[in-house]
Amino acid sequence: MKVWYFKNKYNNLFLLTVYLMSLIIFFYFLRQNSAESYYDELSYLNFSQGILSNGLFNTGDPLRTYLYPLIISMVSIFSNGNPIVIKVIISLFQYILYAFTIFIFSKSIYLKTNNKIHFFIIIFAGMLNPYLIQATTLLLTDLISSCLIIIALVIYANDNFIKFRNMCILFFLIYSSIMIRPSNLIFLIGFIIVVLVSLRKDVNFKFYKFVLASISMLFVFFPQFYMNVVFFNHWTPLVHENLYESQTKWAVQFLKYGSVVITGETPQLYYLNPFQLNNETTFFDTVLSEPFIASFLFLAHVFGILDWGYTDTYIREYYHTNRLFSSLFLYTCWYFIFIGIYLVILKRQIYLNKRLNRIIGAVLVLAMIFIVFIGTTCVESRFGYPLFIMLLPLLTLAYDFIISIKYKKSRFVIILILYLLFLALFFCISFYLDIQTSRINWFEHLNINFIK
């Protein structure tokens, strides 16, 4: 890749501006979040301290895998166990990893299209997303595991993927993401399907190398497997507790879930299902007994991974204005991503670069599998992070389409009207879901009277 983004002063200025704005957002949230840790963050800190005190193979947790606490424990060695220092160092590491991920993802698209605007679009949407920048400042697994999946996607999109070394790197990244966030197992299934389908006719692709690479990287699971056998007599490389079964029950009870750190408020923020069902009913039981309600719940959960609501993962204020501005940024990105999906579905090759077919096909398959899986669970807003990042290349298709119609005023006006309607719809649905908490009513707060 030529270093055009260093030679052209306007490219330099744009990149410098974006990264400077991104750093400002990062340090704002770092200052806010570094002083104290909450809930899951404390659990990861305690797990990491257990690793330091007892050793990796003498520590077990029924709900969490070992790799993220291990990373925290390695940082703890150089910070005298100070939780604030630990959090600052981990935050810096996560931000750098995230920035690197967005950069190489953007670069991989540029190498396919040779269009620097495509590079800048992904950099802009990725590096200025306030939700994702905020996530780098928390001791949570969602963002770092998402980065590993995206880097694996870049490896797959590389023309040299069929080399054994690259296959090993891909499996190492995916396995590591699973050991950070076990639900990423769904991406392993997706990647296997994508690779076998897309490369089945490539004479240079050797299936035995693919299998050998997948086996050679299994050592990543060994510490977790060992801990589960020793502490819980459970022969599994994943977590001991059956979290997915619990998730399918919560999926029936709640449309969404959030966490609150507001003084005097209950920490758990439940977006209650308006249809009262048995608490022991799973989502799949509901599909058979109440298909209409199950469809409603599935769509609500899918909307939950598109609408991230409050910028802060741990909600500090119910009516913070940054929730509105962050949502506006996010909805705008989704709107143009949906345009990209629309173009792919229509197979309108005038707007599609054929060299993008492989990576676009991969992200759509992975996204579809992920959505089907996550729609059966009780979602938190942060569950949507990997979906957003992997679909960023579709913004480039939307850009090419809009450029192609810039002189067709009627079509351009239609795109604009649809955009405004899209924003109105998403805000209304999001505010409606907030009402289900019985604590938040944005309609009343903004004095919007058509819904009470």
Secondary structure in 3-state letters for 246-300: HHHHHHHHEEEEEEECCCCCCCEEEEECCCCCCCCCCHHHHHHHCHHHHHHHHHH
Whether 75 and 90 have beta carbons less than 8 Å apart is answered as: yes
Residues 344-351 have a mean pLDDT of 67
Least trusted range by pLDDT, from 30-34, 100-104, 193-197, 277-281: 277-281
- Residue 118 scores a pLDDT above 50: yes
Task: Give the Cβ contact number of residue 345 at 10 Å.
Answer: 9
Least trusted range by pLDDT, from 51-60, 111-120, 170-179, 339-348: 339-348
Give the domain range for residue 289.
242-452
Residues 396-416 have a mean pLDDT of 88
Q: Is residue 373 part of a domain?
A: yes
Whether 372 and 284 have beta carbons less than 8 Å apart is answered as: no
Per-residue pLDDT tens for 226-270?
A: 999 999 999 999 999 888 888 999 999 999 999 999 999 999 999
Instruction: Please count the structural domains in the chain.
Output: 1
Q: Is residue 303 part of a domain?
A: yes
pLDDT of residue 4: 52
Q: Is residue 275 part of a domain?
A: yes
Cα distances (Å, whole numbers) of residue 105 to 130, 167, 181, 272, 340: 19, 18, 21, 37, 17
Q: Is residue 257 part of a domain?
A: yes
- Residue 298 scores a pLDDT above 80: yes
Which is it for the CA torsion 35, 75, 313, 311, positive or negative?
positive
Give the highest mean pLDDT range of 35-39, 235-239, 351-355, 417-421. Answer: 417-421
Distance CA 310, CA 289 (A): 34
Per-residue pLDDT tens for 147-156?
A: 999 999 999 9
Whether 99 and 123 have beta carbons less than 8 Å apart is answered as: no
Q: Is residue 380 part of a domain?
A: yes
Q: Which of 340, 364, 339 is nearest to 419 (CA)?
A: 339
Q: Which amino acid is at 101?
A: T
Q: Is residue 10 part of a domain?
A: no
- Residue 2 scores a pLDDT above 90: no
Q: What is the mean pLDDT of the chain?
A: 92
Q: Which of 222, 219, 215, 255 is nearest to 237 (CA)?
A: 222
1: confidence class by pLDDT, cuts 50, 70, 90: very low
The burial of 264, by beta-carbon neighbours within 10 Å (0-12 exposed, 13-18 middle, 19 or more buried), is given as: exposed
Q: Is residue 101 part of a domain?
A: no
Residues 302-327 have a mean pLDDT of 94
Whether 168 and 220 have beta carbons less than 8 Å apart is answered as: no
- Residue 419 scores a pLDDT above 50: yes
Residues 14-30 have a mean pLDDT of 95
Q: Is residue 431 part of a domain?
A: yes
| Largest Cα span, the chain | 68
pLDDT of residue 370: 96
Residues linked to residue 288 through DSSP beta bridges, in sequence order: none
